[in-house]
Structure 1
Amino acid sequence: MADLLLKSYQSTALSALSGFLREATQVGAASAFLQQAGSPYQTAAFGEIPCVCLRIPTGGGKTLLAAHAIVRMAREWQANDAPVAVWLVPSDAIRAQTLTALQTPGHPYRTALEAAYGQRLQVCDLDRVSTLSPTDWGRHTIVVVATIQSFRVEQTDTRNVYAFSESFERHFKSLPAEKLAQLATVPDAFVRAEDVTEANAMLQAYVGQPRYSLANWLALNHPLIVVDEAHNTRTEKSFVALKRLNPSAILELTATPLPHQSNVLYHVSAQELQAEDMIKLPITLREHPEGWQAAVFGAVQTRQWLETEAQQAQAAGDTYVRPIVLFQAQNVNDAVPPDVLRQHLINELHIPEEQIAIATGSQRDLAGVDVSSPASPLRYIITVQALREGWDCPFAYVLCSLQPLSSATAVEQLLGRVLRMPYAQRRRREPLNHAYAHVCEATFAHAATALVDRLVSNMGFEALDVASMIAPQMPLFNAVSPAPALCVPSGTFLPPVTTVLEVSNAAGLQHAAGVTVAPAPNGKGSLVTITGHVDETVEKLLLATERSEKKQDLIRQKVTQHNAVVAAETAPSMRGVPFAPVPPLGYRADAQAPLFPLEREAVLESVDLNLLAQPVSLPGFQVVESDNAFEIYVDEARRVKMRAADVGQLALDAVNVHITADDLVRWLNREVRQSDIVQAHLLAYLTAVVNYLLFDQRASLNTLARMRFVLARRIEAQIADLREAAAKVQFQQRVLDGAWQVEPDWSQPFRFEPGSYPAPASSRYAGRWEFKKHYYPVIADLKDKGEEFECARLIDRHPQVKQWVRNLDQAPFGFWLPTARGRFFPDFIIELMDGRIAVIEYKGAHLRNDPYEIEKRKVGELWAANSQSRCIFQCVFLEDNGRTMEQQVDQALQPRT
């Protein structure tokens, strides 16, 4: 089975987790979270024990992320090579699925763990924990997969995990008294006299001693805990159960964390999932007020059209896909239960019986069926409430719900299956990159509102995500290939986006722009219909209609959601408008040489990095020892304080005693391996560093071994400093001083593509000012006030601007220019009316004379100067030589003379 590479958003989420835990070792969880997430840390449940949440919407790959997260948590928080982890899931079906994946050699989940721990890895369920050897603990990484229900009880004697078990006696007997004393803070950890009954009289001999139980054994090992679908565990019972396990740190993974309860460290957006080809977007929505037969027929025709597309894509080299419809039938006592729908498909639409499966509580046609196999004829799946947990089918492309979306409790699960992209790989035929929904609703507005509510409330997306998630008709049928008449909209006119709010008092709204008011049907209050973008003034009037803070919050949500859909209809990327290509920088070593991409790596190729060219030292790293404690001083300003008992054993080739300097060097070599440094040279350097710390700094070998992760990070930073210094000299000579011929490369331009703008959820623009020319419906990394916001407004309003993008600072989704340090992602990329490309970088006054900012400006000016007047680069400040920001922007964007 092939390894699964991490997507960019998954790497970013893991980096956020690593950064938080690294900071928490120095300043504590609360301060670290406030610094990184910008919001207060919720300590009510677990105090200062790190407990954070990664919010991953449906289809985001939470399980793969969890496997990698265990390694990060062990390294950054525990400094441990052999951690114990408890992986909690919401159901037994998912437990079995997860356990099998983690135990299967070659599976991506197991591979993620084996990459860090090799064969020192044990994965088991609760029943197998007692069979592990006591010597495995501390030498092997142990992952225990279980359901949260296994631990969540009021009376601990009602669960086997808390019961006294002689099978654990060999584990407890070898432990010293001081180790067992750690259970003093764990509830019900010791055998009490009242626990002794006639049925278990043997417990009399153990009164006052630790209970030999699975839960106690896990508690003694301070496990890392991963909680999948964590929104189901935010209860007092769950908190008590997790506390009994004496966790070292807790990671929650969920699409829908409970507001003001979970510490959401990172939130993945729909745009990030779409840009990484994890989900199909947008959802092209078709309403069928004429009845359920029309909805079914439309779904069947859509599927048949998609299968033709899939066959053409496969002929062009795509992997096999057979589009499937998920039908949500009505309940048994309603008009269209599963059997009626099945007969309609067979008798009226002439669908072969073998292409249809029913998956309900009483009929399970999918049992043992490999839906993705090319040999399977299955094309239509009928269900009512839900499909089996853990069942996945990215071939599902079309959702057809015969129930009202507002009342169908399982529609989000079905929609989740439809959203997943086959093989997480963009398809060659554009219709296969979209999901489709056919619903029995009277109007698009009602259907879209109900669908949005499902996406936002139950699937982990936010109102701003909706801007790129729902298409109001099926334009692809006209644009790409013909489709049955039923599926083709009657015209290309898009009705204006409207949202209806029921308010208590509509006084003051009668003359507001884009607002109409009518009496409510029940005679209480009014119905307010809003059309077009709602600005801050109108929003304040809407909020004034209610006194209740809860109702005002609902209005805010509806307005945000409404504006997002408006943005989706007006954004150029959503209307198929292309953005002009933007040339990267290229270089020629001489005038006759071909043009190569100019990257930092090209400069580094000419750098001979000799780590031993100067006497070895490790600036900013100092060890101070006293008795059983020690402190590591890093970079003179930061301290890491740890006691010897706080850290795990050193697992160097499974040897935990008699550590030698060579053992430590070999471990460091694996941890800090550098692709551009010869192995023998790196080993020599690491040996010199260890000897320097042992003999010059007088640090003990045991202390260095315990603090090996901090040491490894500092060595990596030192190598990076040496590499940067060498690169800076070469970059100046070859790029800025003209040793190489540098010019924009128009033959390999960067392109802003629709659906390739993964704006992080935590930093997107959420203000009320309407940007009318931004290429995408959402804007990344922009606050609703401040100097950079004012610069964006000036760009959006400038008459020479056709469209612009708030550039992302990640490849391959953002445009970049090279520097000695790596890549520089300018703030704003602009397409002008005359076809030229303008790049504007906004800088605060404090950065005007920063050496690195000066280098970026020089590179940008070099890029523009050699573009034959086709490109513009401008650094903009709040004030520059008497010119205001507006004057600087206006001067940069003037028409070509």
Structure 2
Amino acid sequence: MTTLALKSYQQAALDALAGFARAAQVKGPALAFGELVGRPYNPDPFGAVPCVCLRIPTGGGKTLLAAHAVATLAREWRASDAPVAVWLVPSDTIRSQTLNALQTTGHPYRDALQASYGAEVRVCVLEDLANIAPSDWGQRAIVVVATIQSFRIDDTDKRNVYSFSEHFERHFKGCDAQRLRVLHDLPDAMVTAEEAAADGAGVRAGILKGFVGQPRWSLANWLALHEPLLIVDEAHNTKTDKSFTALKRLNPSAILELTATPIATQTNVLYHVSAQELAAEAMIKLPIALAEHPLGWQQAVFAAVQTQRALEGEALKDEAEGFGYVRPIVLFQAQNENDDVPPAALRQHLHDELHIPKEQIKIATGDTKELDGLNLAARDCPVRFVITVQALREGWDCPFAYVLCSLQKLSSATAVEQLLGRVLRMPYASRRGREALNRAYAHVCEAKFSTAASALADRLINHMGFEALDVASMLVQQSLLPVFDKNQPTALIEYAPVATDFAANSVPAALHNAPGIAVVQLAGEQRVVVTGHIGTKVEALLMAQVRGAKKQAQVKDKVAQHNALVAAQAAPASRGAHFAPVPTLGYRSTAQGQLWPLEVEAVLETVTLDLLTPDAVQLPDFHIVEQSNSFEIYLKDAHVQLRAADASQIALDYGSSSISADDLVRWLDQSLFQKLPDFTQSQRRAYFAAVVNHLLHEKGLSLVALAKARFKLAQDIEARVADLKDRAAKAQFRQLVLQETWTIEPDWVQPLLFVANRYPAPALSRYSGRYQFNKHFYPVLADLKDGGEEFACAQLLDAHPAVMHWVRNLDTAPCGFALATSRGRFFPDFVAELAGDGVNSGRIAVLEYKGAHLLNDPYEIEKRQVGELWARNSQGRCLFGYITKDRGGMGMTGQINALLNLRLHDPHGIHVAW
């Protein structure tokens, strides 16, 4: 089945989740989380039940990610092919939309489930559970979509999910006492004497008298028996005691939270997606071109209309050049009914003064719902302007929204982040041909310059899940941005200065006289407005304006956010600098042949891998660990399915089974076909059959034992094939590439380009130290710890006079620079553009730092050889250095000097071979 391809950051988030689940199986959640993330794990309030969060900012596609996460957790944590998952959402509206998407064939969310569980996967609401046949539980994946409110209440008697229901009689009567025992430890799961005594009405009056002390036949109890996986959307809303009680009451096996704004002290953030990652994958538009209109709302409205008209002209040209249809739309945030410009007045102004046809204007408020039934993406839809105030319908989609025009003050406007989130989303999740259509636009009414930028930044950071360093490069003054000329450079020119206001109770003279500080009246209150970097002395004075540790901590956080915004605007990429193209590595199979990108796949195409040798079918690391639950494999409609079996249904032992080896081979093929794409189905099945026969007849394992350990078996087979490919590739890579049987040379036609807003550094691994790097091309640095040898290397590079600017290289394509190796790709640590005098301009230096203990590692030697080959064949335009703490008495400074001070006239100055 073909599903919507995951973005790189989505796959990375799922990989992190899978890695955590595997490690947690062995080490427990706390140790696994600490080793993978590098931060302490908070076990409260769920104890041994793993509870982790994927932090996805607005526009990041968290629902698609959640749909894929069901299978990831079921496979890696539960070892189940037929899980029960409870998908909790914050409202009935979101529940209806999520349910519809998960049930609709062809929808990407449904496709994600069917890719793992086939068309028989059941997606339903709570009311449908009693109608599912007891035999279906454990035989097919079941996803239940509900609101958290369905379970969250003090008195469980007031929720139907906790009530005794005879509809569940056939479900509970099939369970033995051993399995029901898990309910005895859950709060309010048993029928009480008081409950039975109160059961005196209805046709079956008094039925509960015989159930005192027994598990209640309830929907919640039935879910609890299946230890469901919990998917919690907008999880920051569930951090209350009522919610914790409700979630624990469901007896979950694992909890996955998704939110843009987690509560830091209560959330185990496993993976955090950044704005730059979203922009690199064309999920959001960047930057936001911000225009402030101090002359009044009419000026803002006129400018927004002009922006729409210009964008629509660009869209027509874009479509003529082969890009999809878009019709840019303005979202107006009007004032409240009792203010000067409510929705009706704004509509009248647009029609009477700006001569906009009425059919192009729609109002969407709580009372006026003119968007209902309209498909805003349709070509024949005339709508170009949507007016709202606070509340758009939850989940409402406006794929062509490009311009936000707020007539309210951003500092006090409600729901502005909801509107901005819709404007940020990129149509079709694909970059446009004309640069103006890759940006979002905001027109705001503010009487004082730069206060809007500060307020908008605050909304992006505190309400939409973006990082301060990202936000700094997300906002730029529209008047200073070349918006509508395709031939203009795309680099940003100038940012609205960051201005942050603080409390001012008793302002000392030191603050009055400090540069970049103004004491002003805002909303009738005296405030200190600061622009520029806030030093430690000014920070201390600002903190002295408030009392109490909590308020002072808030000031400290606000200062840190302000300084991050200021520092980010100083980065070369933010100022409009350009980075020289960095050539990738290519090959020619013949001396005069075409130059192709050098990838390990090209090398592997020359290798024939035999999977049926006696060595290949052995799994030296495969060991079976007995688990408490039993498994059975059964056939249904020629489709192999597996399920966790109740002890009352089947008791598998190691001596006999109706399972065939062919059943297991088919299951292995279904599990691994996407991970072994280089082999045909007949090749895969022949290999899987050989492995199974080897384990059965030469290792003496039973088929039931293999069935129980099938997930571990699949993992080890995948690892074994990877090892075989690695060995074959290593030998062939040495001959074709390192010994230059092929012609190897840098590819200047298809180089890597470092450009603004395309540095998708994962948020959790960014550098967060106090030292300021002045020459790093981007506002953030990926994967750099504050201190240590690699940090010292980065400092030396930043301070070196031969370096114009540099990048802490990403370890992912296509935004990171990579060189091919026999294992795939090698991403060096640092890439620098060197300063030059014209002749030397555009020279590139690539550096890899390694600890001394790794210098003799065979793979590290291969990476060094590839880098030297890249530099050696670049005609002196590229340098490569392998840096370590000390080499033969030469420290890092000497090694970097030896590399960067080379000149073109030096015949040996084209590379450094350590």
> Would the TM-score normalized by the shorter structure come out above 0.5?
yes
Shift of 1:566: 2.8
C-alpha distance in 2, partners of 1:644/1:696?
26
The letter of the residue matching 1:708 is R
Are 2:180 and 1:177 equivalent residues in the alignment? no
Structure 2 matches for 1:95-174, cutoff 5 A?
95-174=95-174
Residue 349 of structure 1 corresponds to: 354
Preserved contact between residue 120 and residue 139 of structure 1 (Cα < 8 Å): no
Query: Which residue type is aligned with residue 293 of structure 2?
Result: H
**Unmatched runs of 5 consecutive residues or more in structure 2:** 644-649, 651-657, 836-840, 906-914
Q: How does 1:611-626 map to 2 (within 5 A)?
A: 611-615=611-615, 616-623=617-624
1:643 equivalenced with 2:657 (yes/no): no
Residue 776 (structure 1) aligned to one of 761, 775, 778: 778
CA-atom RMSD in angstroms: 2.6
Q: Distance in 2 between matches of 1:649 and 1:249?
A: 24
**Quick one: distance in 1 between partners of 2:74 and 2:179?**
20
Amino acid of the residue matched to residue 530 of structure 2? T
Deviation of residue 482 (structure 1)?
12
Q: Is the 8 A contact 1:22 1:77 kept in 2?
A: yes
Q: Residue type of the partner of 2:572?
A: P
Match in the other structure for 1:261: 266
Once the 2 structures are TM-superposed, how far is the Cα of residue 37 of structure 1 from its aligned partner? 1.7
Kindly report which structure 2 residues correspond to 1:715-730, keeping only aligned pairs within 5 A, or say none: 715-730=717-732
**Match for residue 756 of structure 2 among 715, 738, 754:** 754
**Which deviates further from its counterpart, 462-471 or 287-296?**
462-471
Give yes or no for contact 2:453–2:498 (8 Å, CA) kept in 1. Answer: no
> Is 2:476 aligned against 1:471?
yes
2: CA distance, partners of 1:801 / 1:520: 46
What is the DSSP-based 3-state SS (H/G/I as helix, E as strand, rest coil) of the residue aligned with 1:749?
strand
- 8 Å contact kept, 2:476–2:494: no
| One-letter amino acid of the counterpart of residue 157, structure 2 | D
Q: Which of 402, 406, 413 is matched with 1:397 structurally?
A: 402
Secondary structure of 1:766's aligned partner: coil
Please list, as runs of the form range in 1=range in 2, the aligned pairs for 1:441-480 lying within 5 A after superposition: 441-477=446-482, 480=485
| 1:223-242 CA-partner distances (Å, limit 9, x unpaired) | 11101011111111111111
Instruction: Kindly state the Cα deviation for residue 785 of structure 1 after the two structures are TM-superposed.
Output: 2.1
Provide the residue aligned with 2:640 in structure 1.
Answer: 653
1:534 CA drift (Å): 4.8
CA–CA separation in structure 1 for the residues paired with 2:465 and 2:401:
20
2:734 — aligned with what? 732
Find the aligned partners of 1:482 and 1:720 in 2 and give their Cα distance: 47
Please report the TM-score for the alignment, with normalisation by the length of structure 1: 0.93
User: Which residue identity lines up with residue 273 of structure 1 in the other structure?
Assistant: L
Q: Residues 408-462 of structure 1: CA distance to partner in whole angstroms, max 9, x if unpaired?
A: 1211111111111111111111111111111111233211111111111111112
Matched, 1:595 2:600: no
Counting matched residue pairs gives 872
Is the aligned partner of 1:822 residue 2:824? yes
Q: Which residue of 1 aligns with 2:707?
A: 705
Deviations 1:750-786 (A, max 9, x none): 2122221111111112223222222222221122322
CA distance in 1, matches of 2:278, 2:70: 22
From 383, 386, 409, give the equivalent of 1:381.
386
SS in 1 for 2:749: coil
Aligned twin of 2:655 = none
Q: Tell me, in whole angstroms, the C-alpha distance in 2 between the residues paired with 1:515 and 1:575.
A: 20
Q: Unmatched 5+ residue regions in structure 1? A: 484-490, 625-629, 631-641
How far apart, in 1, do the equivalents of 2:622 and 2:542 lie?
A: 58
Letter in 1 for 2:440: A
Which residue does the alignment assign to 2:904? 896
Measured in 2, the distance between the counterparts of 1:475 and 1:844 equals 46
Does the 8 Å contact 1:502/1:520 carry over to 2?
no
Distance in 2 between residues matched to 1:526 and 1:226, nearest whole Å: 44
CA displacement at 1:19 relative to structure 2? 0.5
Q: Distance in 1 between matches of 2:819 and 2:213?
A: 68
For 1:813, give the aligned amino acid: C
Match of 1:873, SS state, is strand
Per-residue CA deviation, residues 209-259 of structure 1 (Å, 9 max, x unaligned), is 322111111111111110101111111111111111111111010111112
Residues 396-795 of structure 1 aligned to structure 2 (within 5 Å): 396-477=401-482, 480=485, 496-502=497-503, 516=517, 527=528, 529-531=530-532, 533-534=533-534, 548-615=548-615, 616-623=617-624, 630=626, 642-644=627-629, 653-654=640-641, 658-673=658-673, 674-795=676-797
- Aligned with residue 847 of structure 2, among 836, 840, 843: 840
Q: Which amino acid aligns with 2:866?
A: V
Deviation at 1:549, TM superposition (A): 4.0
Aligned mate of 1:807, from 806, 809, 814 = 809
Contact 1:764–1:782 (8 Å) recurs in 2: yes
C-alpha contact (below 8 Å) 1:2/1:107 kept by paired residues? no
Greater Cα shift, 556-565 or 366-375: 556-565
Residue 410 to residue 2, structure 1, CA distance change in 2 (3 Å): farther
Question: Is residue 2:192 matched to residue 1:205?
Answer: no
Give the secondary structure class of the aligned counterpart of 1:374: coil
Range that drifts further, 880-889 or 505-514: 505-514
Q: How has the CA–CA distance of structure 1 residues 797 and 539 changed in structure 2, closer, same or farther, with 3 Å as cutoff?
A: farther
Provide TM-score, normalisation by structure 2. 0.91
Partner of 2:653: none
**Contact preservation (8 Å) 2:230, 2:254:** yes
Counterpart for residue 871 of structure 2:
864
**Percentage of matched positions with identical amino acids:** 60
Are the structure 2 counterparts of residues 795 and 216 from structure 1 closer, same or farther at C-alpha, using a change threshold of 3 Å? same
- Counterpart CA distance in 1 for 2:18 and 2:634 is 20
Q: Is 1:855 aligned to 2:862, yes or no? A: yes
Offset from partner CA, 1:249-298 (integer Å, 9 cap, x none): 11010111112001111111111111111111111111111111111111
Contact 2:95 2:147 in 1 (8 A): yes
Further displaced range: 589-598 or 569-578: 569-578
Q: Are 1:306 and 1:432, in contact at CA under 8 Å, matched by a contact in 2? A: yes
The structural deviation recorded for 1:192 is 2.2
* Aligned match of 1:11: 11
Change (3 A) 1:804 1:702: same
- C-alpha separation in 2, matches of 1:507 and 1:788: 43
Report the CA distance between 1:97 and its aligned residue.
0.5
CA distance in 2, matches of 1:204, 1:713: 51
Q: Write the distance in 2 (CA, Å) between the matches of 1:276 and 1:649.
A: 40
Could you tell me which amino acid in structure 2 is paired with residue 23 of structure 1? A
SS at match of 1:123: strand
1:28 aligns to 2:13 (yes or no): no
Deviation at 1:504, TM superposition (A): 7.0
Tell me: CA distance 1:477–1:733, structure 2 relative to 1, closer, same or farther (3 Å): closer
Check the 8 A contact 1:506/1:517 in 2, yes or no: no
The Cα of 1:841 is off from its aligned counterpart by 1.0
* Alignment equivalent of 2:376, drawn from 362, 371, 379: 371
**Counterpart Cα distance in 1 of 2:543 and 2:890:** 40
Is 1:280–2:285 an aligned residue pair?
yes
What SS does the corresponding residue of 1:609 show, helix, strand or coil? coil
After superposition, give the CA deviation of every residue in 1:827-866 in whole Å (9 maximum; x if it has no partner).
1111112221111111122222221111111100010001
For 1:896, the aligned partner's letter is: L
Equivalent-residue separation in structure 2 for 1:874 and 1:541 (angstroms): 47
Amino acid in the other structure paired with 2:561: Q
> In structure 1, what residue type is equivalent to 2:12?
T
Determine helix, strand or coil for the equivalent of 2:769: coil
Match of 1:873 in 2: 880
- Give the conservation status (yes or no) of the 8 Å contact 1:42–1:263: yes
Further displaced range: 172-181 or 871-880: 172-181
**Aligned residue number for residue 488 of structure 1:** none
Q: Summarize the Cα distance change of 1:90–1:309 in structure 2 as closer, same or farther, 3 Å threshold.
A: same
**Matched residue type, 2:392:** L
Tell me the residue number matched to 1:486.
Answer: none
Q: Deviation digits for residues 157-195 of structure 1, max 9, x if unmatched?
A: 111111111211111112222122221112222222222
Residue of 320, 324, 348 corresponding to 2:325: 320
**Range moving further from structure 2, 289-298 or 877-886:** 877-886
What is the CA distance between 1:875 and its match in structure 2? Answer: 0.9
Following superposition, the deviation at residue 81 of structure 1 comes to: 0.2
